[in-house]
């Protein structure tokens, strides 16, 4: 009989259970996606930059595990808030406390196991799709990166099922110690914090001080080395918590004294925030950190993606060099946005390459200035008189590496008169150097052109890079891992923060259901109720968002040593922020819609 009643209760709340199951499933999927990268030793060892970031993965795994624990606590709170009234009714009807306790234990464990299993499967599918999409968009190849990785599956399953067993035991213990009356009326008990202005002021100052230490640690990462990350993690987390704890109550007290609090349902809104402030402080701290990590990861990933072509442009005088261009290569060159193009005749005798002085005089070979002499971060080019070029410019690698055979001794080419050049015997080539305006605009065509040249001269593939496009390819192989990880983890953390914030908010839905029903009965207009809900949830989304943006602006300092001039972690940050905040607003709209369906009276929700 008790089982039938329990199943009937689940059936009546199937929409709430689907919301809860979806959130837990998403959490397990996100954790698996991260574990797939963090535990895949073959992937880490095969990718040099990823290997150097393995310590960051370690801290990230610990932080994500802590966030997962908090998340499951929120989900468990949501489950209890939905069912505790039903459990109280069961005991009122004569069910034994021990029997109800077994029901609570099994219900929590079964729900968690199902969510974990579905989440792992979803994580595998999403990893495959997301990894394939990102690698295709970024033009990367990362060795040993697979969506199905057994150690990551076992790690995720053991952690989640273990946490759900602990959650089940917690629910069982709480049920055994709670009276029937408390179960029936638990959602009507408010958490009214005591007002201690001086103490909150001191805590706020301490929070600001801890945040300052954390931001300084990130900026001083070259001096502090690996101690900067744990120091910043601890101080920023504690500082954010203390600042939120002090600021939220102070702001609420200040607003209550204004005339704004007496208009519409603003006083009701402040009351809602006031009695939930302690739980919201913990949640806001976690979400602000997730927001900062998600936005920071995507910003760094997009920064590498955007700036690597710019950096490669500064490494040489030309983008590609083509020898004896065939019809296909000529068509490809016409598709490029060419900034400078020149063709020279070469003759190769033994290990020496000869050039016609007349051609070099008519079309001087352009050399690149050092980046220190470029004020705007863009490369500058110059030419030299032929006499000087023979002794200095001709010895630079840009010019030497035009040799189609890549002899390996790096002997300086010889520049002879037109008459002497005509009398020379040996293999003759026509080499065309092309420099594009912006490499990022022509990557697809440059890739085809470079592959075509390497097929015709295969001995060049394993030698030094020829032109800035090959330098870009080399950089992509080195830093592409960081670029991929930035996007991958940014998307994962974005989904995690949205789920965490969404389900913490939804866990208060059962209590709000009665409150809004009362407002509806006393004649409050439905538009005012919707507006109050929109403001309340909007505030809860805005506070961690603002703090997260501040964290990112300071946190990007730690990437300055990795992004030397002309690269910068702040370059193009506005576009990334706009896209990310747009996605965040979409999550807000979804959460608001879910909450309206959960708490608004049915006749109100339909209008």
C-alpha to C-alpha distance for 6 and 1, rounded to whole angstroms: 9
Look up residue 343 and give its two tokens: 């063709």
- Residue in the block written with tokens 């990007």: 556
Q: How far apart are CA 236 and CA 218, in angstroms?
A: 10
pLDDT, tens digit (0-9, with 9 covering 90-100), for 238-260: 888 888 878 877 888 788 788 88
Secondary structure (3-state) at 93:
coil
Cα 439 from Cα 378, distance rounded (Å): 12
pLDDT at 460 over 70: no
b/e string for 583-594 if b means 16 or more Cβ within 10 A?
ebeebbeebbeb
Share of the chain above pLDDT 70, in %: 78
Domain ranges of the chain: 1-189, 320-467
Range of 277-281, 341-345, 559-563 with top mean pLDDT? 341-345
Overall average pLDDT of the 132-158 stretch: 76
Residue 597 neighbours by CB distance under 10 Å: 13
- The pLDDT value recorded for residue 54 is 57
CB neighbour list of residue 446: distance below 8 Å, 6 or more residues apart: 319, 320, 336, 436, 439, 469
In sequence order, which residues have a C-beta less than 8 Å from that of residue 96 and are 6 or more positions away?
Answer: none
Look at residue 356 and give its three-state secondary structure.
Answer: strand
Instruction: Give DSSP secondary structure letters for 184-250.
Output: HHGGG--------HHHHHHHHHHHHHHHHHHHHHHHTHHHHGGGHHHHHHHHHHHHHHHHHHHHHHH
179 vs 110, higher pLDDT? 110
Alpha-carbon distance 563 to 567, whole Å?
A: 5
**Stretch 150-170: mean pLDDT, rounded?**
86
Q: In sequence order, what are the residues at sequence separation of 6 or more whose Cβ sits closer than 8 angstroms to the Cβ of residue 259?
A: none
Element (H, E) at 341: strand 338-349
Q: What is the pLDDT of residue 461?
A: 45
Tell which residue, 313, 306, 319, has the closest CA to residue 378.
Answer: 313
Give the model confidence (pLDDT) of 103-112 as tens digits.
777 777 888 8
Confidence of residue 604 (pLDDT cuts 50, 70, 90): very low
Residues 6 or more apart whose Cβ sits within 8 Å of residue 214: 231, 232, 233, 234, 235, 236, 239
Q: Find residue 368's DSSP bridge partners.
A: 381
> Secondary structure of the chain: what % helix, strand, coil (to 5)?
75, 5, 20
Tens digit of pLDDT for each residue in 198-227?
888 888 899 899 999 988 988 887 787 778
- At residue 299, does pLDDT exceed 50? yes
- Band of pLDDT at residue 121, cut at 50, 70 and 90: very high
3-state secondary structure string across 45-65: HHCHHHHHCHHHHHHHHHHHH
């Amino acid at each position: 009989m008790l089982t039938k009643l329990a199943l009937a209760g689940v059936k009546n709340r199937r929409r709430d259970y689907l919301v809860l199951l979806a959130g837990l499933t998403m959490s397990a999927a996100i954790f698996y996606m991260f574990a797939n990268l963090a535990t895949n030793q073959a992937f880490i060892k095969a990718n040099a930059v990823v290997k150097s970031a393995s310590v960051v993965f370690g801290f990230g795994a610990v932080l994500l595990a802590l966030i997962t624990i908090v998340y499951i606590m929120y989900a468990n709170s949501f489950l209890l808030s939905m069912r505790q009234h039903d459990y109280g009714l069961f005991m009122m009807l004569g069910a034994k406390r021990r029997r109800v306790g077994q029901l609570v234990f099994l219900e929590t464990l079964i729900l968690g196991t199902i969510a974990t299993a579905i989440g792992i499967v979803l994580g595998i599918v999403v990893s495959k799709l997301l990894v394939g999409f990102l690698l295709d968009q970024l033009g990367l190849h990362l060795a040993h990166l697979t969506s199905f990785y057994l150690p990551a599956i076992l790690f995720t399953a053991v952690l989640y099922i273990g946490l759900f067993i602990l959650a089940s035991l917690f629910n069982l213990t709480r049920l055994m110690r709670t009276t029937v009356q408390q179960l029936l009326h638990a959602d009507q008990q408010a958490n009214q914090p005591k007002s201690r202005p001086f103490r909150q002021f001191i805590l706020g100052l301490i929070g600001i001080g801890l945040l300052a230490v954390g931001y300084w640690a990130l900026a001083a990462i070259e001096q502090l080395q690996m101690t900067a990350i744990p120091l910043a993690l601890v101080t920023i987390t504690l500082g954010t918590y203390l600042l939120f704890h002090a600021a939220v109550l102070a702001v609420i007290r200040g607003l209550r004294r204004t005339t704004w609090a007496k208009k519409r349902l603003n006083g009701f809104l402040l009351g809602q925030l006031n009695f939930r402030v302690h739980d919201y402080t913990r949640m806001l701290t976690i979400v602000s950190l997730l927001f900062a990590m998600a936005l920071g990861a995507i910003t760094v990933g997009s920064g590498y993606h955007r700036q690597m072509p710019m950096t490669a442009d500064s490494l040489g005088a030309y983008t590609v060099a083509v020898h004896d261009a065939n019809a296909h290569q000529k068509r490809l060159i016409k598709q490029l946005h060419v900034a400078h193009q020149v063709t020279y005749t070469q003759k190769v005798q033994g290990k020496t390459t000869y050039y016609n002085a007349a051609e070099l005089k008519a079309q001087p070979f352009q050399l690149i200035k050092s980046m220190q002499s470029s004020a705007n971060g863009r490369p500058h080019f110059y030419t030299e008189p032929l006499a000087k070029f023979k002794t200095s410019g001709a010895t630079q690698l840009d010019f030497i590496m035009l040799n189609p055979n890549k002899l390996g001794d790096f002997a300086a080419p010889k520049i002879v008169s037109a008459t002497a050049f005509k009398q020379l015997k040996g293999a003759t080539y026509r080499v065309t150097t092309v420099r594009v305006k912006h490499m990022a605009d022509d990557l697809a065509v440059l890739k085809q052109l470079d592959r075509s040249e390497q097929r015709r001269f295969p001995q060049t593939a394993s030698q030094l890079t020829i032109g800035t496009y090959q330098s870009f390819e080399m950089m992509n192989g080195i830093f592409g891992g960081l670029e991929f990880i930035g996007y991958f983890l940014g998307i994962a953390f974005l989904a995690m923060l949205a789920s965490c914030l969404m389900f913490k908010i939804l866990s208060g839905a059962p209590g709000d259901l009665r409150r809004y029903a009362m407002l509806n009965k006393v004649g409050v207009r439905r538009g005012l109720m919707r507006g109050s809900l929109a403001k309340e949830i909007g505030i809860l989304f805005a506070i961690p968002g603002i703090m997260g943006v501040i964290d990112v602006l300071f946190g990007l300092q730690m990437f300055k040593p990795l992004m030397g001039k002309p690269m910068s972690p702040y370059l193009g940050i506005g576009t990334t922020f706009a896209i990310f905040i747009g996605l965040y607003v979409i999550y807000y709209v979804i959460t608001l819609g879910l909450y309206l369906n959960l708490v608004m009276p049915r006749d109100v929700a339909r209008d």
